[in-house]
Homo-oligomer: A and B are copies of this chain.
């Protein structure tokens, strides 16, 4: 029986999403339509999908065209080609993450999970009977967890280290040499590293020229790694439910494929065609260029917002992804983030996600902002928040 935390991000969104005017809680790069996707392609004559193909279950492990495009992406920076067979498609990354836990974890297993992060990454292993230790990141250390802490958490039965890179909700990254240390520890103990990489490759504050630019966990030379990804965030296509699981270890993929038979059978053949189109070399570059440009422009707006309200909020400026974790306070004391978000929504129509309820009660005063929505909406929304801070912050409860 599932025990869901009081508020999950989704429960929050489900409850309030339809009342909001400015959705700056959304973590997707501003979503596009099929028509817009076709416009982004260099080849405007290609069909995004075929309407004449019988809608059978399709390829059980995922369409070849899609898996080939994904394999190419994982092969590009690593020097080692990834075979198509090392990839499974799923109905979104949420299911990819779920399935990994369902297939590989259970009573008797110990898991170490990056924290704070998307709740399901640590809650699902717990629900399935595994013991979970949280590997905590803190704002004092620019939201980087510590390698010594990781070492101290390892147990004889540690089966998996779960990381989220780029990081939700903070937009921080685990850089290359940091990842190398995680890999060294994992490989010494033969631990699987599962890296949730749904915000790759939206890097707006670091470039591939930087020595610490974070590679995918798939490019670190270690076999026992699993990366998950999705079309929803970086590729603006949440409405097609396409995520994936990739591993350098084919036996891990086979094990997950078995468990997949009881949970999904196959992924929508229409959606897989749209995803393959978006990841095709003729489309992917312009799609990512659009989204990284959007992230950069909107980050400037975010920076101005934080500067303007620096008496009432602070943050660690994100370097990647689509989210920022901003702490609001009054007279130096953190506000009650749920009360803040609810009053903000009521007064202004702006939707944020409350950090203390959706990411952990220690994150008092924090809200998660999703700032890679349409620029106009982010700008107008943040202006409303500034007004709210000026006029209404005194009415917001402080955190207990």
Contacts and interface: CB of A to CB of B under 8 A. Distances in A.
Most buried by B among A17, A48, A98, A102: A102
A268 B267 CA distance: 10
Interface string A1-31: 1101000101101100100000000101011
Q: How many monomers of this chain does the complex have?
A: 2
A289 interface: no
B120 A239 contact: no
A367 B88 CA distance: 29
A22 to B, nearest CB: 14
Main secondary structure of the interface of A (DSSP, over half): loop
A261 interface: yes
A296 B1 CA distance: 42
B236 A8 contact: no
A265 interface: yes
A35 B55 CA distance: 10
Contacts of A174: none
A269 B123 CA distance: 27
Contacts of A11: 258, 261
Given A98-B263, A241-B91, A2 B55 contact: no
Interface stretch (A103-111, A207-215, A244-252): A103-111
Contacts of A1: 103-106, 109
A8 B262 contact: yes
Contacts of A166: none
Interface stretch (A56-64, A186-194, A311-319): A56-64
Interface in A53-110: 53-58, 60-61, 91-92, 94-95, 98, 102-106, 109
Contacts of A31: 54-56
A271 interface: yes
A186 to B, nearest CB: 19
Given A35-B51, A53-B33, A55-B31, A268 B270 contact: yes
A170 interface: no
A218 interface: no
A266 interface: yes
Most buried by B among A106, A123, A240, A264: A264
A258 to B, nearest CB: 5
Given A261-B14, A262-B94, A264-B92, A239 B4 contact: no
A41 interface: no
A32 interface: yes
Given A14-B257, A31-B55, 4 more contacts: A4-B259, A4-B262, A91-B95, A95-B263
18 contacts: A14-B60, A28-B57, A32-B55, A34-B51, A56-B238, A57-B238, A58-B239, A92-B264, A94-B264, A95-B263, A95-B264, A123-B262, A124-B262, A127-B262, A239-B268, A239-B269, A263-B263, A271-B271
